[in-house]
Amino acid sequence: MPIHYSLLFLKCYQSVKTFVWSLKSLRLPTSSSNVDDDKQERCQEHKVLLTSSSNFSESETMFGDKLESQALQKGCEEDIEKHCRRCIGYPTMRTMNKLKKYGMYTLFFMFIFVVVFQFSEDVRQPAYPVFKRSETNQTNRMIIVVTPTYKRMTRIADMLRMANTLSHVKDLHWIVIEDGNKTIPAVQDILDRTGLPYTYQAHKTALGYPRRGWYQRTMALKLIRSNTSQILGQDHQEGVVYFGDDDNSYDIRLFTDYIRNVKTLGIWAVGLVGGTVVEAPKVVDGKVTAFNVKWNPKRRFAVDMAGFAVNLNVVLNSDAVFGTSCKRGGGAPETCLLEDMGLEREDIEPFGYEKTKDREIFVWHTKTSTPNIVQSKKNQTKPVPPPDTFGYFVEV
Ligand code: UGA
Ligand code: MN
Mean pLDDT computed over every residue of the chain: 83
Residue 18's Cβ-count burial label (10 Å; 0-12, 13-18, 19+) is: middle
> What integer pLDDT is reported at residue 93 of this predicted model?
62
Instruction: Judge whether 45 counts as a catalytic residue.
Output: no
pLDDT, residue 386, reads 86
**Is the pLDDT score of 385 beyond 50?**
yes
Order of strands, sheet of 276-284, starting from the edge strand that comes earlier in the sequence: 249-250, 363-364, 270-273, 276-284, 287-292
- Give the residue, out of 212, 242, 324, 395, with the most ligand 1 atoms within 8 A of its beta carbon, to mutate for a pocket test: 212
Instruction: Give the pLDDT of residue 132.
Output: 59
A 10 A CB-CB count for 110 gives: 14
Averaged over 246-259, what is the pLDDT?
98
| pLDDT value at residue 126 | 55
Residues 290-312, buried b or exposed e (16+ Cβ, 10 A)? ebebebeeebbbbbbbbbbbbbb
CA of 305 to the centre of ligand 1 (A): 9
Residue 125 to residues 119, 128, 247: CA-CA distances in angstroms?
Answer: 11, 8, 30
**Model pLDDT, residue 102:** 84
Position 381 confidence tier, pLDDT thresholds 50, 70, 90? confident
Nearest-CA residue for ligand 1 atom 10 is 212
pLDDT at 143: 98
Instruction: Enter the DSSP assignment of 214.
Output: H
Give tens-digit pLDDT for 78-123: 555 555 554 444 555 666 677 777 888 888 899 898 888 877 766 6
Contact at 8 Å (CB) between 267 and 348?
yes
Q: How confident is the model at residue 7 (pLDDT cuts 50, 70, 90)?
A: low
Distance of CA 231 from the midpoint of ligand 1 (Å):
24
pLDDT in tens, 177-209: 999 999 999 999 999 999 999 999 999 999 999
Q: Which amino acid is at 180?
A: G
CA–CA gap between residue 253 and residue 269 (Å, rounded): 13
Residues 327-334 have a mean pLDDT of: 97
